[in-house]
Amino acid sequence: MSQLFRFLSRYNHFILFLLLEVIAFTLIINRNDYQKSVFSRINTQVLGSVSSVTSSVADYFSLKSDNAFLAEENAALQNELLRLKSSKNPVSAFAQSDSAFAFTSAKVVYNTVNRFQNSLILDKGSTDGVRPNMGVVTPQGVVGIVESVSKHFCTVISVLNIESRISGKVKNSNYLGSISWDGKNTTVVQMEEMPRHVEIKMGDTIVTSGHSAIFMEGMMIGTVIKAEINENDAYYKVDVRLANRFQALNYVTIVSFALRDEYDELQKTTINE
């Protein structure tokens, strides 16, 4: 302990200098959007590179299971494409056209589940056509939304993030709700804004609504495990058990919408009117 005190006493000016530098750097990043954006890209690239090297060692010992997972994923995507081709719903025909969506397989090189703002880093970036606000899924269900992109990596806002919002609905129903996470159970999310006149019960399947350019309609989110409403409440309190096991994510699929720019431009025009 005495050695520690001597060290601190000897280098106290230098330590204070470093502390002030960190505080100044943090203030610059948090108060300037441009610097914050640049730092986010650099952080994504550096952390992604380090995590990629670390995960590749573990991959060497799990090639068989990874290949099996990829085969399962490819089969699931083929089934999804067949489902879209056979869809006869004229309302969703635009969103579910065969050429509207493309899929890119990616490896999870970094993943957190024990924070309030959890995120992932994937080994795909701008050179692979990845852009912010693309959806990320597995054959089991929704994972999150791409937030920032570097040349070879991208960061993803996990569903297990208190700032995440995804439009969902009860399967085979047009009643919409907002999927969010309260920061508590890593296997359960909440569905908000579900009106009291809607019939919703335990065991109901919750899927994406398709009311955005991020996810296709009908992608699995989870299953209702609690649906309660008080006498004076206008909306249900709904808990949804996630279909994905976020602690075990390995490979994921990035979903890109080919007509994204056209959709966004039209949406901006509509909002500004």
Same domain, 180 and 78: yes
Residue ending a domain, choose from 33, 52, 71? 52
Same domain, 107 and 237: yes
* Dihedral, 157, 143, 238, 118 alpha carbons, nearest 10: -40
pTM of the model: 0.70
Residue 134: per-residue pLDDT: 96
Task: Tell the residue number behind the tokens 């880093």, with chain if given.
Answer: 121
**Do the bridges between strand 237-242 and strand 220-228 make them parallel or antiparallel, or are there none, so unpaired?**
antiparallel
Instruction: Name the DSSP class of 195.
Output: B
Same domain, 152 and 258: yes
- CATH number (domain holding residue 178): 2.40.10.340
Residue 96: per-residue pLDDT: 46
Q: Give phi and psi for 51, each to the nearest 5.
A: -65, -35
Total domains present in the chain: 2
Residue 174: per-residue pLDDT: 81
Residue 269: per-residue pLDDT: 76
Q: Does residue 86 sit within a domain?
A: yes
Residue 71: per-residue pLDDT: 40
Residue 75: per-residue pLDDT: 42
Same domain, 210 and 265: yes
Nearest-CA neighbor of 166 among 132, 130, 199, 213? 213
Tokens standing for 146? 């791409």
Q: Does residue 57 sit within a domain?
A: no
Same domain, 48 and 119: no
Residue 103: per-residue pLDDT: 87
Q: Does residue 58 sit within a domain?
A: no
Each residue's pLDDT, cut to its tens digit, for the chain (273 residues) gives 666 666 656 766 666 667 766 676 666 656 666 555 655 665 566 565 555 555 555 555 555 566 546 645 654 664 466 456 545 443 343 344 545 788 888 999 999 999 999 999 999 999 999 999 999 999 899 999 999 999 999 999 999 999 999 999 999 888 899 999 999 999 999 999 999 888 899 999 999 998 888 998 999 999 999 999 988 889 999 999 999 999 999 999 999 888 888 877 887 776 655
Same domain, 105 and 43: no
Residue ending a domain, choose from 28, 52, 76? 52
Same domain, 83 and 141: yes
Same domain, 32 and 133: no
Same domain, 115 and 193: yes
Nearest-CA neighbor of 157 among 186, 136, 129, 130? 136
Same domain, 126 and 35: no
Q: Does residue 69 sit within a domain?
A: yes
Task: Identify whether the C-beta of residue 201 lies closer than 8 Å to the C-beta of residue 227.
Answer: yes
Which range marks the domain in which residue 21 is found? 2-52
Same domain, 158 and 196: yes
Same domain, 133 and 198: yes
